[in-house]
């Protein structure tokens, strides 16, 4: 703009020495004036930069900013890198648009909320110091609460939430999760998973709310909790994020992730278009209407075509037919996996994915290679510039909509939201509602539940009774989950039992007692907690669906000698048919998370059981896949099954109020009779 090297030589102008001095002063004055004008011009320009003006409509800001961006700056916006390769310099020099934590990728072990904010603000300052100062968004898999973070509230996994069938609860969980995520300075979660799991052999089945597409549609209410409710006059289908206590949500994995052959993770979903649209697509439409801001593409294929390269479904259907206006993000190294040997032809992968309509790429490590490849593809007109502009405009729209340019930094005043008591109470309520009572008593007239709090001596057994990691499942602290009680804070089922029963009750815990011990101790009843060990993604694919050993022998040893309730901790139905006749009661607790008291609330009758199976419970694995509506439907328990019990308190209240109204109906009389029986038996 201003060339400070003077282009002439004094001598050639033929000036004497005083003339030289005059000329020098003149030139200096001119230079200073020019500098001043230049500076003033920049300041005025800065004030007039439309993209920085929050009063301008989002579309105007996007257009203005896009018009100022170089190709490098545009491509940078499309890149998401893992925190382990990010720093302020990288953010600035490569114009990186987004950073993520992969499962278990944390700033330091047992990091506090403040540590997260420190790290993220440092990256953000790098982004803000780039030429145009475009802030980045930080994403994480907060898929059952803010599960990567020490001390966070861990909610039940989606299969358990599906059992509640309670959209309002989902909305409140979304809002609590958003606050915990923001407490760590993060503004984007890769949730909810809208998979319709059609085969429990799939390792991600617990991330699915149900095998029933309608139930999955209803559960999209969590998006309103995460992002906020769009105002009444807001245009339907436009991405919405309601400010600094809300986060960007992500409907995933588009599409057909839950329909793969034999439930093999990332495999091929073989189904006709009618089936795909009827089973796997509906929840995406609900999400778009609710303003979801991003959609993640599935690793899986549809009829042999990798979803990451499927232009028909991503561009024509999602962006065209469904009018999705947010951004489409790839899965972790999703581009690499377009070729059957991952990363074997990366340039081709980049071309295929960007042409298919992916806007942001979870690279997450080799960002320089991605940037170089895409730059070359654009320069060679393989990928048209308007495809890049479409991608960047979508990303920027979300950033403007959420107010990121106005509030780019994490807010330390929110740190106490992480794992707050209010959120733990909500999670406990969610656990209670998620429990499905499958059996209660060897015959109907002799229920075991609710249990007595005043029994003199009780037995608690099983691999899962005192293991917080098992209770939370995969995607907790580490990608594959953890075992034990010290990797985060919460209440195990054993601890919950101890704090629920009367102080006079002796609680004996043995993980795997021999049958003589069980027989010879005069236990009033036993609580057996068994199930699956934690897993995530492909690590959870299973052809056998058996419980963790020695679960079956524990059930046998205990249930043959003492009245027992079996609580199953699992991400899906598992083989249960051979053992069920020996049990007095059976409860499916799914993967309840950190709040074990939700389980005892129902076992001890402080709250009733109300959950309904979100999935068909098979008799044997050779029936699979088997979903409701199938011709040869022969389940152990059908979709929607679940016994109910009133809470002891409710039963008493109902019988009392019926009595005081003086018009005891027939039903009230029955309820009162049951209440009296329950009270006599258990108190």
Q: Does 325 bind ligand NAG (CB under 6 A)?
A: no
Token pair in block for residue 109:
């072990």
Please select the residue that binds ligand NAG; options are 110, 406, 514, 577, rule is CB under 6 A.
110
Task: Determine, following the binding rule CB under 6 A, whether residue 151 of this chain makes contact with ligand NAG.
Answer: yes
Structure token pair of residue 495: 């601890």
Question: Of the residues 331, 336, 429, 601, which is catalytic?
Answer: 331
- Comparing CA positions, the residue from 236, 224, 214 lying closest to residue 288 is 236
The CA distance from 683 to 680, in Å, is: 6
CB atoms within 10 A of CB 411: 15
Backbone angles phi, psi at 523, to 5 degrees: -75, 140
**Residue 348 vs 641, nearer CB to ligand NAG:** 348
Nearer to ligand NAG, 266 or 359 (CB): 266
Beta-bridged to residue 460, according to DSSP, are: 509, 527
Work out the angle at residue 438's Cα, subtended by the Cα atoms of residues 437 and 441, and round it to the nearest 5 degrees: 90
Tokens of 531: 């199930």
Strand partners, 461: 510, 528
Binding mask 542-581 toward ligand NAG (x if CB under 6 A, else -) reads ----------------------------------------
Distance CA 631, CA 449 (A): 35
* Distances, alpha carbon 390 to alpha carbons 77, 240, 315, in Å: 12, 18, 11
The catalytically annotated residue of 180, 537, 541, 595 is: 537
Q: How far is the CB of 12 from ligand NAG (least distance, A)?
A: 48
Residue 354: DSSP 8-state: H
Residue 446 sits in the site that holds ligand NAG (CB under 6 A): yes
Instruction: Establish whether 425 is a catalytic residue.
Output: no
Instruction: Count the Cβ atoms, other than its own, within 10 Å of residue 156.
Output: 32
CB contact at 8 A, 130 and 90: no
Inter-residue contact 156 to 144 (CB < 8 Å): yes
Per CB under 6 A, which of residues 156..215 are in contact with ligand NAG?
Answer: 165, 212, 214-215
| 166, 218, 314, 359 from 285: Cα distances, Å | 19, 11, 13, 19
Q: Which is nearer to ligand NAG, 18 or 445 (CB)?
A: 445
Binding positions for ligand NAG, 214-253, rule CB under 6 A: 214-215, 218
Question: DSSP code of 319?
Answer: I
The count of other CB atoms within 10 Å of the CB of residue 515 is 13
| Min CB(196)–ligand NAG separation in Å | 12
The answer to whether residue 264 forms part of the interface with ligand NAG (CB under 6 A) is yes
Size of the site for ligand NAG (CB under 6 A): 26
Binding mask 7-46 for ligand NAG (x = CB under 6 A): ----------------------------------------
| C-beta closer to ligand NAG: residue 102 or 664 | 102
Site track for ligand NAG across 416-445, x = CB under 6 A: ---x-----------------------x-x
Nearer CB in complex with ligand NAG: 65/183: 183
The verdict on whether 406 is a catalytic residue reads no
> Binding of ligand NAG at residue 638 (CB under 6 A)?
no
Looking at the Cβ atoms of 336 and 393, the one nearer to ligand NAG is 336
- Which two tokens mark 503? 């102080």
**Binding residues vs ligand NAG (CB under 6 A):** 87, 89-90, 110, 112, 150-151, 165, 212, 214-215, 218, 264, 266-268, 301, 345, 348, 419, 443, 445-446, 484, 486, 489
Q: Which residues are catalytic, by number? A: 331, 537
């Amino acid at each position: 703009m201003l060339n400070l090297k003077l282009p002439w030589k004094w001598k050639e102008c033929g000036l004497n020495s005083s003339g030289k001095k005059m000329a020098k002063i003149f030139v200096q004055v001119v230079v200073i004036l020019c500098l001043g004008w230049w500076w003033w011009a920049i300041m005025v320009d800065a004030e007039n930069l439309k993209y920085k003006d929050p009063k301008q409509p989002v579309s105007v800001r996007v257009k203005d900013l896009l018009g100022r961006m170089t190709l490098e700056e545009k491509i940078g916006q499309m890149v998401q890198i893992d925190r382990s390769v990010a720093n302020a310099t990288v953010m600035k020099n490569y114009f990186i648009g987004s950073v993520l934590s992969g499962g278990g990728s944390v700033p330091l072990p047992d990091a506090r909320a403040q540590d997260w904010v420190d790290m993220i603000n440092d990256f953000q300052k790098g982004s803000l110091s780039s030429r145009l100062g475009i802030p980045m968004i930080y994403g994480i898999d907060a898929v059952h609460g803010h599960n990567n973070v020490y001390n966070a509230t861990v909610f039940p996994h989606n299969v358990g939430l599906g059992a509640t069938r309670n959209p309002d609860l989902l909305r409140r969980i979304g809002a609590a999760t958003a606050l915990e995520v923001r407490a760590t300075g993060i503004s984007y979660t890769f949730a909810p998973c809208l998979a319709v799991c059609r085969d429990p052999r799939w390792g991600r089945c617990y991330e699915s709310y149900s095998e029933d597409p309608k139930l999955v549609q209803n559960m999209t209410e969590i998006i309103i909790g995460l992002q906020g409710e769009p105002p009444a006059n807001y245009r339907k289908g436009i991405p919405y994020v309601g400010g600094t206590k809300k986060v960007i949500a992500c409907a995933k994995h588009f599409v057909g992730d839950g329909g793969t052959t034999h439930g093999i993770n990332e495999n091929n979903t073989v189904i006709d278009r009618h089936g795909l649209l009827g089973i796997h697509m509906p929840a995406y439409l609900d999400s778009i209407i609710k303003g979801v801001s991003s959609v993640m593409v599935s690793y899986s294929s549809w009829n042999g075509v990798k979803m990451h390269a499927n232009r028909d479904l991503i561009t024509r259907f999602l962006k065209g037919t469904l009018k999705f206006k947010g951004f489409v993000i790839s899965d972790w190294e999703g581009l690499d996996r377009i070729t059957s040997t991952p990363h074997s032809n990366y340039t081709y992968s980049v071309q295929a994915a960007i042409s298919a309509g992916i806007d942001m790429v979870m690279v997450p490590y080799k960002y320089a290679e991605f940037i170089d490849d895409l730059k070359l593809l654009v320069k060679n007109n393989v990928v048209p510039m308007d495809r890049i502009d479409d991608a960047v405009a979508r990303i920027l729209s979300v950033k403007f909509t959420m107010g990121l340019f106005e509030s780019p930094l994490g807010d330390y005043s929110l740190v106490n939201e992480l794992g707050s008591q209010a959120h733990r109470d909500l999670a406990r309520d969610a656990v209670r509602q998620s429990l499905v009572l499958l059996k209660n008593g060897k015959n109907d007239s002799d229920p075991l539940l609710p249990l007595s709090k005043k029994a003199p001596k009780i037995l608690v057994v099983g691999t899962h009774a005192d293991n917080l990691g098992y209770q939370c499942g995969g995607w907790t602290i580490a990608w594959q989950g953890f075992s034990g009680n010290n990797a985060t804070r919460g209440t195990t089922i054993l601890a919950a039992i101890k704090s629920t029963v009367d102080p006079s009750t002796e609680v004996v815990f043995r993980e795997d007692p021999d049958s003589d011990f069980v027989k010879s101790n005069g236990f009033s009843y036993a609580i057996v907690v068994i199930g699956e060990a934690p897993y995530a993604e492909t690590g959870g694919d299973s052809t056998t669906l058996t419980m963790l050993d020695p679960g079956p022998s524990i059930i046998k040893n205990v249930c043959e000698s003492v009245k027992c309730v079996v609580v199953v901790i699992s991400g899906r139905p598992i083989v249960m048919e051979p053992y069920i006749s020996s049990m007095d009661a059976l409860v499916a607790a799914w993967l309840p998370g950190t709040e074990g008291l939700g389980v005892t609330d129902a076992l001890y009758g402080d709250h009733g059981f109300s959950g309904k199976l979100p999935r068909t419970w098979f008799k044997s694995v050779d029936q699979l896949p088997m979903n409701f509506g199938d011709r040869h439907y022969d389940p152990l328990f059908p979709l929607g099954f679940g016994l109910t019990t009133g809470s002891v308190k409710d039963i008493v209240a109902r019988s009392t109020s019926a009595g005081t109204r003086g018009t005891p109906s027939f039903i009230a009389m029955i309820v009162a009779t049951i209440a009296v029986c329950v009270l006599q038996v258990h108190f």
